[in-house]
Homo-oligomer: A and B are copies of this chain.
Amino acid sequence: MPPRAPEHHHPRKRDLDAVVEAVLYLYTESRRITKGLAGRYGLTGPQLAVLKMLEPVGKLSLSELSERIRARNSTVTGIIDRMQREGLVERARSESDRRVVHIGLTDKGRELAAGISVEPVDIFRRVLSELTPRDAAELERILTQLAHRVTELVERA
């Protein structure tokens, strides 16, 4: 018989709900804020994310982009379509691997990116930076632990 999970006092349901609430709130609010910021430049949230992601490195393959913004290729194809339509990015087939498409900023895209000072998750990060180092470390430790545990459960299933 497999050993049972160690028995310990479970935290109260109220605490758990508060945590779920807070994560949901932080996530949706940060998305809302990013969207608002992007809107001032005629962009959407994901488009701003792509722009700022390309700015330092010049170009990325579509797959690299979708991995970084946590979306599927089929989603990113559409986002790039619209940004290309606006003349912000351009597509170029890779020479070494003809399947790969490199996405790069146009001059217009580079200019626009340079004019926007804030990163997409900036407000989120700003608030986090106001925590004491001890709290930040605690938060990091506990959340990372949670993430690992979720991964375990997912992979088992």
Contacts and interface: CB of A to CB of B under 8 A. Distances in A.
Interface stretch (A52-60, A92-100, A130-138): A130-138
B146 A16 contact: no
A15 B136 contact: yes
A115 B11 CA distance: 28
Given A29-B154, A138-B138, A154-B33, A129 B10 contact: yes
Given A15-B136, A15-B137, A138-B138, A22 B153 contact: no
A147 B136 CA distance: 14
Nearest to A120: B20
A18 B136 CA distance: 10
A144 B136 CA distance: 13
**Oligomeric state, in number of copies?**
2
Nearest to A28: B70
A28 to B, nearest CB: 6
Given A9-B133, A126-B153, 8 more contacts: A16-B125, A19-B136, A22-B144, A23-B27, A26-B147, A128-B146, A131-B146, A138-B138
12 contacts: A11-B136, A16-B136, A18-B140, A19-B143, A20-B121, A24-B70, A26-B143, A29-B147, A29-B150, A123-B153, A127-B146, A138-B138
Q: Report, nearest first, the 6 A-B pairs whose CB atoms are least far apart.
A: A11-B136, A22-B143, A11-B133, A27-B27, A15-B140, A16-B128
